[in-house]
Chain A
Amino acid sequence: MLKKELDEEATKRLKNIAGRWYDQISSATIPYISLPTRTKQNIEYDEKSEVWKYGNRETLRSASSAKGAMHLLKMAHVVGFLKNQIADNRSSTLREMYYISEGWKRAKFSAQDESNMLVEDLEIVTELSREAFHLRPEEDGASVYGSLRIKEQTRRGERIIHCREDVGEAGYPIPNNVDNLEFIDHDAKFVIAMETGGMYARLMENGFDEEHDAILVHLKGQPARSTRRVLKRLNTELGLPVVIFTDGDPWSYRIFASVAYGSIKAAHMSEILATPGAQFIGVQPSDISNYDLPADKLTEGDIAALKAELTDPRFDTEYWRKEINLQLKLGVKSEQQAFASRGLDFVTKEYLPARLSEMGVI
């Protein structure tokens, strides 16, 4: 879609929201808006797109309560602000919008979280991503390293970059708006995404990308939308399998889940953000016992998180039930860099090749 068309569409949809409220008020109906309930109880697996999306449960936001009225007023301010921003061809970050709200008197945000939630609400209602409203994500994307040539549309013109030959040790940094990227060519058989920078550097140093024709992606913890978007595009556009390599603890499994199935918070974006084919390499709880990895005891929080995952529809598979129950039984967790206890080359020479062939990737 051309930028102009996208802007017009975004403006139209924003005005529609305000228009509904206008009609409600004019007909003496207390203004309201209904949104999908954003909890794990209300995400459902969509067979067609193979991702998790919001179900049918809706939460009604109505001005009949003081809290609801305030929410609607804030929402109206955000809609007005975004509409003007598109018209003026400006853009801002969520953080900037949070500060701009200082001028909205009573309707100003009391915390950044509130404005984030509101923008997510708007994405859901308009079925557009925040980028369509000229809102730039705060977090910077992670980096990519490997045999991949891309073309990036920058503000200073087009750049063609090879993600190994034209970049330094840190790799190619993924831009905020991934829609400005084009993949030109590549020489890879799969993509491996890692949670920690340490492991990313380890694979780079050990030449894993060249040896196994892999594209390395650094997730930087819970991956930003742009990172997930890149993974999705590498998977669908280039047909490359994606594997995820994280620590062996409940929080890391959620990183995998958000890449593979979509996150609960952004389930409305699952279709463009989630990579349903992504596979989990490890660290698996069974690896901890099989390789006798150095481990820490599970904290109470870890145990609670593992138990919560047992009720999370995204983890409702035989594989995850088995692994999570095993971990609860072992009572321990290990970091991915714990493989170093068997030598610095163990992870690239032994563990990963073994797992990858086991999973049928190589």
Chain B
Amino acid sequence: MDLAEELASKQRSISVAEFFEKNKHLLGFDSPTRGIITTIKEAVDNSLDACEEAEILPDIYVGIKKTGKDVFRIIVEDNGPGITPAQVPFVFGKLLYGSRFHQIRQSRGQQGIGISAAVLYAQLTTGIPAVVTSRTGHKSPAHRFELLIKTETNEPEIVKEEEIVWDRMHGTRIEIEFKSSLAAKKRLLDYLRYTSVVNPHARIRADIDGDLHNFERASDEIIVAPKAIAPHPHGIELGLLKRMAAVSDKKLKEFLIDGFSRVGEKNADEIIGISGLKNSRKTSGLKIEELKSLLSAMQTVSVPPPPASQCLSPIGEEMIIKGIDKEFELDFVKSRTRKSQVYSGNPFIIEAAIGYGGKLEAEGTATLMRFANRVPLLYQQGACAITNAVSQVNWRSYNLSQQGIPTGPVMILVHVASTNVPFTSESKDAVAAIDEIEKEIILVMQDLGRELKNFLSRRDKNKQEEERARAVCSLLPDIARKVSEIVEKPVPDTAPLEAQIMRKVVAKKQTINGTVEITVSNHTRSPVSVTVYNMSEDSAVDAKPKTDFTDVIGDEYNKLWKAEIEPESAWKATYSGSGSGTLDVRGVDEKKLVVVDLDA
């Protein structure tokens, strides 16, 4: 046997499953610790995508139970549309089986690798089959499967299948058991929290080995799943063009107009003209060389950008803020959704938010939350185009210090939504450096940076003013004491003065020569609406203005006025009487109110 034959005898095809077995890191299963996060991430992504397609508000349960030494059972259950029993083994037991790979629209999962990779990972580490329960509606029973993957052939192996009674009307539950550890629990919680921030329409409950976390729903708005669009002539590669051409029975011009987005009569004619092909040709008969010239013609002709509004589903400025507000308590949040842009024929939208203060760490670098198609990116921050773009911004001009990314109590959120998010690898950890994307991120960061700067300078100004007020208030009692010592009179009360300086509401009652005068002065910056209660023996029948209500309690009259008072103005009521009794004001925060009874 010569060498070539000897080698040939060893050569054979490799199944994807086998390939994965050897290259776990490519899909995010490089360590047992990380496996747990990847599994949950893939399952939750699938659940959210499924709910979105079925227009259901997602309710997702995530469970992690320790079942043995280093062995964990991962459970993810949703209220999605469910999967038909015939499909279940393929969805979970065959790699590269999916519904979204061939569609051009924004979705979380794409290749159909993620969750079956988790099943395979379980099989490799514990040998325990994955358990999948799914029900598609109240009319059909739930099916329970125990699944393995035949690695040699990349086909599902059904260990057991049965109909069961499930209290869920519809939904899917997957249970996978593999070797792992909870060392990355913080990161897992970050993943769930971040997911919840960009999916404020979802409710996620998590039970991490007895440790319960709830991520509540902040919006009842159902997300409409983006619609698939035809490929854009600028974003297509030869392989896809070849496949499309082979299955089409149309003539060239029709093929271009029907098969691609934004190609009209005029563009089609132009493309055909440049390609040098005849309009009458059927595309199925095109040779590879002809397809190549067609492709190059498609890419030279100027075609409007793809219709982003259909195929992309940005979170929206308001929703981002809702999501952030529910998970973080901040002093300031602003968000932006940019207009859609295109890179290599792929539409994309950049969304971003910036938050400041609250419970964020005052020291260290900013919290950077990266998202791609509503999925948090947790690993390889340093290799990500988002990080790179954020670092390129000169944050110092927005009054922040920076070490690459800004430092201080700052939170930055960046979401890249695209029909095809360019990742650096299949584990989808980092966005690849694409100039168009980085440019958009820099622009949105500069815009938000200006907003933050305004907030910071306003806050500093308020702070200064408050410090000034405090300084004055600490001196006033001393002045009052010294002055009364000189004039040899009792020390006057400086409380009303201090209230004025501290911008509060001051209510005062004073009786001079049988006339009771009640004044409420608003020294705050906003109008106040107050109710003044004055309880005394005076009936105040001659009150000006008249009381809004007078209640007789025993031999006392409880007088009530309602007043709207603009900033830096005062409300006054007078009546004749003795002036004894009490004064009370409602409708103003107690911290902002000072009541002074000069008759007391």
Please tell me which one of the listed residues A21, A22, A25, A69 contacts residue B471 in the complex, with CB atoms under 8 A apart: A69
Given contacts A66-B472, A69-B472, A73-B479, contact A15 B487 (CB under 8 A): yes
Can you name the residue of chain B whose Cβ is closest to the Cβ of A82? B486
B506 CB within 8 Å of chain A: yes
Instruction: Report yes or no: B487 in contact with A73, Cβ–Cβ below 8 A.
Output: no
Q: How many angstroms between the C-alpha atoms of A76 and B480 in the bound complex? A: 9
Neighbouring A residues of B508 by C-beta, 8 Å:
28
| Size bracket, chain B contacts | 20 to 34
Neighbouring A residues of B475 by C-beta, 8 Å:
63, 66, 69-70, 72-73, 106
A239 CB within 8 Å of chain B: no
Given contacts A18-B486, A64-B472, contact A30 B501 (CB under 8 A): yes
Q: How many angstroms between the C-alpha atoms of A72 and B486 in the bound complex? A: 14
Neighbouring B residues of A14 by C-beta, 8 Å:
486
**Residues 370-384 of chain B: 1 if any A CB is under 8 Å from the residue's CB, otherwise 0?**
000000000000000
**Residues 133-154 of chain A: 1 if any B CB is under 8 Å from the residue's CB, otherwise 0?**
0000000000000000000000
A221 CB within 8 Å of chain B: no
Instruction: Report yes or no: B487 in contact with A65, Cβ–Cβ below 8 A.
Output: no
Neighbouring A residues of B483 by C-beta, 8 Å:
18, 21-22, 25, 31, 76
Neighbouring B residues of A30 by C-beta, 8 Å:
497, 500-501
Interface stretch of the complex, out of B303-311, B350-358, B433-441, B488-496: B488-496
- Find residues 80-132 in chain A having any chain B CB closer than 8 Å to their own CB: 80, 83, 106-107
Given contacts A14-B486, A22-B489, A79-B486, contact A28 B500 (CB under 8 A): yes
Instruction: Report yes or no: A72 in contact with B500, Cβ–Cβ below 8 A.
Output: no
* Interface size counted on chain A using CB atoms at 8 A: 27
Instruction: Report yes or no: B492 in contact with A25, Cβ–Cβ below 8 A.
Output: yes
Instruction: Report yes or no: B479 in contact with A63, Cβ–Cβ below 8 A.
Output: yes
Given contacts A25-B497, A28-B500, A63-B472, contact A107 B487 (CB under 8 A): no
Neighbouring B residues of A66 by C-beta, 8 Å:
468, 471-472, 475
Instruction: Report yes or no: A76 in contact with B496, Cβ–Cβ below 8 A.
Output: no
Q: Considering residues A30, A66, A70, A107, which has the most beta carbons from chain B within 10 angstroms of its beta carbon? A: A66
Q: Is the interface of B mostly helix, strand, loop or mixed?
A: helix
B163 CB within 8 Å of chain A: no
Q: How many angstroms between the C-alpha atoms of A77 and B479 in the bound complex? A: 9
Can you name the residue of chain B whose Cβ is closest to the Cβ of A76? B482
A290 CB within 8 Å of chain B: no
Instruction: Report yes or no: A25 in contact with B486, Cβ–Cβ below 8 A.
Output: no
Neighbouring A residues of B482 by C-beta, 8 Å:
73, 76-77, 80
B429 smallest CB distance to A (angstroms)? 54
A338 smallest CB distance to B (angstroms)? 55
Neighbouring A residues of B468 by C-beta, 8 Å:
65-66
Q: How many angstroms between the C-alpha atoms of A76 and B468 in the bound complex? A: 20
B476 CB within 8 Å of chain A: yes
Q: How many angstroms between the C-alpha atoms of A63 and B497 in the bound complex? A: 10
B305 smallest CB distance to A (angstroms)? 58
Neighbouring B residues of A77 by C-beta, 8 Å:
482
A357 CB within 8 Å of chain B: no
Instruction: Report yes or no: A63 in contact with B476, Cβ–Cβ below 8 A.
Output: yes
A12 smallest CB distance to B (angstroms)? 11
Neighbouring B residues of A26 by C-beta, 8 Å:
492
Neighbouring A residues of B486 by C-beta, 8 Å:
14-15, 18, 76, 79-80, 83
Can you name the residue of chain A whose Cβ is closest to the Cβ of B484? A22
Q: How many angstroms between the C-alpha atoms of A13 and B490 in the bound complex? A: 20
A198 CB within 8 Å of chain B: no
Neighbouring B residues of A80 by C-beta, 8 Å:
482, 485-486
A19 CB within 8 Å of chain B: yes
Instruction: Report yes or no: B497 in contact with A22, Cβ–Cβ below 8 A.
Output: no
Can you name the residue of chain A whose Cβ is closest to the Cβ of B468? A66
Neighbouring A residues of B494 by C-beta, 8 Å:
25
Neighbouring A residues of B479 by C-beta, 8 Å:
21, 25, 31, 63, 69, 72-73, 76
Given contacts A28-B508, A73-B478, contact A64 B501 (CB under 8 A): yes
Neighbouring B residues of A18 by C-beta, 8 Å:
483, 486-487
**Residues 446-485 of chain B: 1 if any A CB is under 8 Å from the residue's CB, otherwise 0?**
0000000000000000000000100110011011101111
B114 smallest CB distance to A (angstroms)? 62
Q: How many angstroms between the C-alpha atoms of A216 and B486 in the bound complex? A: 46
B320 smallest CB distance to A (angstroms)? 41
Instruction: Report yes or no: B496 in contact with A28, Cβ–Cβ below 8 A.
Output: yes
Please tell me which one of the listed residues B476, B484, B487, B500 contacts residue A69 in the complex, with CB atoms under 8 A apart: B476
Q: Considering residues A14, A31, A69, which has the most beta carbons from chain B within 10 angstroms of its beta carbon? A: A69
- Find residues 1-43 in chain A having any chain B CB closer than 8 Å to their own CB: 14-15, 18-19, 21-22, 25-26, 28-31
Q: How many angstroms between the C-alpha atoms of A64 and B501 in the bound complex? A: 7
Please tell me which one of the listed residues A25, A65, A107 contacts residue B472 in the complex, with CB atoms under 8 A apart: A65
Q: How many angstroms between the C-alpha atoms of A15 and B480 in the bound complex? A: 14
Q: Considering residues A14, A29, A73, which has the most beta carbons from chain B within 10 angstroms of its beta carbon? A: A73
Neighbouring B residues of A64 by C-beta, 8 Å:
472, 501
A106 smallest CB distance to B (angstroms)? 7
Q: How many angstroms between the C-alpha atoms of A22 and B479 in the bound complex? A: 9
Neighbouring A residues of B506 by C-beta, 8 Å:
28
B182 smallest CB distance to A (angstroms)? 55
Q: Considering residues A19, A28, A72, which has the most beta carbons from chain B within 10 angstroms of its beta carbon? A: A28
List the 6 closest pairs (A to B, CB-CB), nearest first. Answer: A66-B471, A18-B486, A69-B475, A28-B496, A76-B482, A26-B492
Sample 22 A-B pairs with CB under 8 A, ordered by A number: A14-B486, A18-B483, A22-B483, A22-B492, A28-B500, A28-B508, A30-B497, A31-B483, A63-B476, A64-B501, A66-B471, A66-B472, A73-B479, A76-B479, A76-B482, A76-B486, A77-B482, A79-B486, A80-B482, A80-B486, A106-B475, A107-B478
Sample of 4 more A-B contacts, CB < 8 Å, known A25-B479, A63-B472, A76-B486? A18-B483, A30-B500, A73-B475, A73-B482
